Amino acid sequence: MPTENTVKGILDAPYQDFIASFLPLYSGPCVKVRVGSAGHEYELSKAILCKQSLYFAKTFQGGFREGQDQSTTLTEVEGVVTQRSFEMLVQWLYLGRVLFSESSPAECITATIEFVRLADMCGVYGMETLMAEHIKAIILANPAPEHIVLGRDPDTNTYCLLGQHITSAALLPDGHAIRKVLAIASVEGYIRRDKHKFLKEICESPGFAADLLLVVKETLKTVNLGEPHITFKNPCSGMTLAFVTKNV
């Protein structure tokens, strides 16, 4: 993991440090990066890429052919290496922030996970918690509609989540903030439904199953044996909910 200077440092650096340490990165030689054999080619600052990405440092400074040619091609990988995720990575490396333009909540979550997986592949760190908070904000802003008779939907916090989000995020390292926030969002449905929305993913993804088990364990510590209902604290929203299983 790079430790000398990270993108987070760009945002936090006083102007004197920015001028001395970061401004020189924006000038100097450039390298070319292509996404896919027939994809768009980007001309980028070699210093910025190599300073903040272990992957690009090895690519362009490790004595490989790419270092001699000053160009490399990233093989497209669905859910990881795409034109979209690479452009988000470039914005992060240059500015220390990413602005999303996806129209739907589900697609915005897809884009976020793609970006974070590419960043992890490239050895770029510092955005994990920020992106997890971004996903959590989307989840809380887009709940399932309440049923007129049944009331709160047990899948309130997973309404805009898809199975592909779970399986893709599960490929991130253990303990990753994105994995935890998806597990936290899934707890209520796991406790309050007979059949969980992501039962298939629980069975097929040991990483997600382990994440969910850990969060359920912590959630059970908040159980209150009161009247008229046994309640627990939803770790995603912070709401106190009745410990009632719905046959849905």
And the tokens for 105? 């909540």
Confidence at 205, pLDDT banded by 50, 70, 90: very high
Same domain, 108 and 18: yes
Burial of 171 (0-12, 13-18, 19+ CB in 10 A): middle
In a domain, 33, yes or no: yes
In a domain, 98, yes or no: yes
Could you give the number of structural domains in the chain?
2
Please answer whether residues 132 and 177 qualify as being in contact, where contact means their C-beta atoms are separated by less than 8 angstroms.
Answer: yes
Same domain, 33 and 89: yes
> Looking at 92, 126, 160, which one is the last position of a domain?
126
CATH code, domain carrying 16: 3.30.710.10
The DSSP secondary-structure symbol of 76 reads P
Please answer whether residues 208 and 201 qualify as being in contact, where contact means their C-beta atoms are separated by less than 8 angstroms.
Answer: yes
> How many whole angstroms separate alpha carbon 45 and alpha carbon 35?
16
Same domain, 116 and 4: yes
In a domain, 132, yes or no: no
Same domain, 211 and 100: no
And the tokens for 26? 């924006």
Model confidence over 138-187: pLDDT tens digits?
999 999 888 776 678 889 999 999 999 999 999 999 999 999 999 999 99
> How many whole angstroms separate alpha carbon 236 and alpha carbon 187?
8
Query: ω into residue 228 within 30 of 0, thus cis?
Result: yes
> Looking at 71, 94, 126, which one is the last position of a domain?
126
Helix (H, G, I), strand (E, B) or coil at 81: strand
Same domain, 33 and 115: yes
Same domain, 89 and 154: no
Bridge partners (DSSP) of residue 106 are none
In a domain, 120, yes or no: yes
* pLDDT at residue 227 in the model: 74
Amino acid identity of residue 25, one-letter, is: L
Domain range for 92 is 1-126
Model confidence over 7-50: pLDDT tens digits?
446 777 776 787 787 777 777 899 999 998 888 889 999 999 99
Same domain, 113 and 165: no
> Looking at 75, 92, 126, which one is the last position of a domain?
126
In a domain, 58, yes or no: yes
> How many whole angstroms separate alpha carbon 52 and alpha carbon 6?
6
Distances (CA, A) of 192 to 62, 103, 185: 53, 30, 13
Same domain, 164 and 199: yes
Please answer whether residues 192 and 144 qualify as being in contact, where contact means their C-beta atoms are separated by less than 8 angstroms.
Answer: no
Please answer whether residues 245 and 193 qualify as being in contact, where contact means their C-beta atoms are separated by less than 8 angstroms.
Answer: yes
In the chain, where do the E strands start and end?
30-35, 41-45, 71-74, 224-225, 230-233, 240-242
And the tokens for 149? 């008779």
Which range is most confident: 15-19, 189-193, 206-210?
A: 206-210
Distances (CA, A) of 100 to 58, 86, 134, 237: 29, 13, 10, 23
The DSSP secondary-structure symbol of 26 reads G
Confidence at 203, pLDDT banded by 50, 70, 90: very high
Contacts of residue 218, Cβ cutoff 8 Å, sequence gap at least 6 = 235
* pLDDT at residue 1 in the model: 35
